[in-house]
């Protein structure tokens, strides 16, 4: 940690940027666009950074390369003991004041802003990394009562938390973005919709529930053998030999059948060569 701190603090300050401007992809572009309006509406954002700890969007930071996501080339932890190493690292980051102002842990943030509602919405690897921080929150009844945690139904990391709202991954089709950002988007949706009432777990769950009405269910398709797929392709090509694989696969799927794209293309090529 000492070497990491020196490397970060030794980076020329003229190259530092706002934390919210550092991250690309996912939900960050929208957050940059909405940040000022969210703040005017009473919604504050905090960033859980694997390299720099808990940050406010306007904190100036250097570029860095670190993540809690397991298996990544820039992962904080190695292949063994990843979860515990990430938790230990987050604990060290909590103790590093750095050049930033404001609380450096989730619990310290909840403790400082007693009148606010707090929504914690993190990907699984990041949630697992901050569990020690959340354990401190469990011992703070007043702070816990003003906090909810958003998690996917399959997440085991937060089951020790008593105030969890399940957020199904397919809600991204109602909230926008991807499955990877569905928790953050759900958190923003609740913050804007409910404001301080978002701390009511039942109300938060009930507010998300109607979104499911806007989700089209995934089609249920039946798998077919290579012979069956080939016969389908052959029949279609005999009627129109110019049919390429993509529109033919779309037709196959609309008929209620399943086939992976690469496999379908190979079978299409084989059938066409033998016609």
pLDDT of residue 156: 65
155 CA to centre of own chain: 12
pLDDT, residue 79, reads: 66
Full pLDDT tens readout for the chain, 275 residues: 889 999 999 999 999 999 999 998 779 999 999 999 999 999 999 999 999 999 999 999 999 999 998 888 889 987 677 889 999 999 999 999 999 989 999 999 999 999 999 999 999 899 999 999 999 998 999 999 999 999 988 776 666 788 999 998 889 889 999 888 999 999 999 999 999 999 999 999 999 999 988 776 656 788 899 999 999 999 999 999 999 999 999 999 989 899 999 999 999 999 999 98
120: enclosing H helix or E strand? strand 118-121
Among 183, 181, 103, residue whose Cα is nearest residue 143: 103
Contact 136, 94 (CB under 8 A): no
Query: From CA 61, how far away is CA 202, in angstroms rounded?
Result: 38
Residues 6+ apart with CB under 8 A from 128: 68, 83, 86, 87, 157
pLDDT at residue 86 in the model: 94
In eight-state DSSP terms, residue 116 is S
Residue 210: burial class (beta carbons within 10 Å; 0-12, 13-18, 19+): exposed
Q: What does the pLDDT read at residue 186? A: 97
The pLDDT of residue 270 is 95
- What whole-number distance in Å separates Cα of residue 111 and Cα of residue 51? 23
Beta bridge partners of 61: 17
The rounded distance, in Å, linking the Cα atoms of 112 and 148 is 16
- For residue 81, what pLDDT is reported? 79
b/e burial code for range 128-142 (CB count within 10 A of at least 16 → b): bbbbbbbebbeeeee
Neighbours of 64 (CB within 10 A): 16
pLDDT of amino acid 219: 67
pLDDT of residue 24: 84
Query: Hey, is 194 helix, strand or coil?
Result: helix
- According to DSSP, the β-strands at 147-151 and 164-166 are parallel
What is the enclosing helix (H) or strand (E) of 213? none
């Amino acid at each position: 940690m000492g070497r990491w701190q020196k490397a970060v603090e030794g980076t020329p300050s003229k190259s530092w940027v706002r934390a919210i401007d550092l991250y690309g992809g996912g939900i960050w572009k929208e957050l940059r666009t909405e940040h000022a309006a969210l703040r005017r509406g009473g919604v504050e954002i905090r960033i859980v950074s694997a390299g720099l700890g808990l940050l406010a969007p306007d904190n100036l930071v250097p570029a860095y390369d670190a993540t809690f996501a397991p298996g990544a080339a820039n992962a904080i932890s190695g292949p063994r003991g990843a979860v515990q190493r990430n938790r230990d690292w987050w604990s060290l980051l909590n103790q590093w004041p750095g050049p930033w102002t404001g609380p450096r842990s989730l619990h310290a943030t909840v403790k400082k802003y007693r009148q606010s509602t707090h929504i914690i919405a993190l990907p699984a690897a990041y949630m697992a990394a901050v569990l020690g921080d959340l354990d401190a929150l469990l011992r703070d009844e007043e702070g816990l009562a003003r906090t909810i945690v958003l998690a996917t139904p399959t997440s085991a990391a937060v089951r020790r938390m008593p105030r969890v709202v399940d957020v199904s991954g397919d809600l991204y089709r109602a909230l926008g973005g991807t499955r990877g950002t569905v928790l953050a988007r759900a958190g923003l949706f609740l913050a804007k919709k409910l404001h301080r009432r978002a701390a009511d777990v039942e109300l938060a769950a009930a507010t998300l529930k109607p979104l499911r009405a806007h989700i089209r269910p995934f089609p249920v398709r039946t798998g077919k053998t290579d012979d069956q797929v080939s016969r389908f392709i052959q029949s279609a090509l005999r009627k129109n030999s110019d049919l390429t694989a993509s529109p033919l696969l779309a037709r196959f799927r609309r008929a209620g059948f399943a086939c992976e794209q690469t496999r379908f293309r190979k079978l299409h090529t084989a059938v066409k060569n033998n016609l």
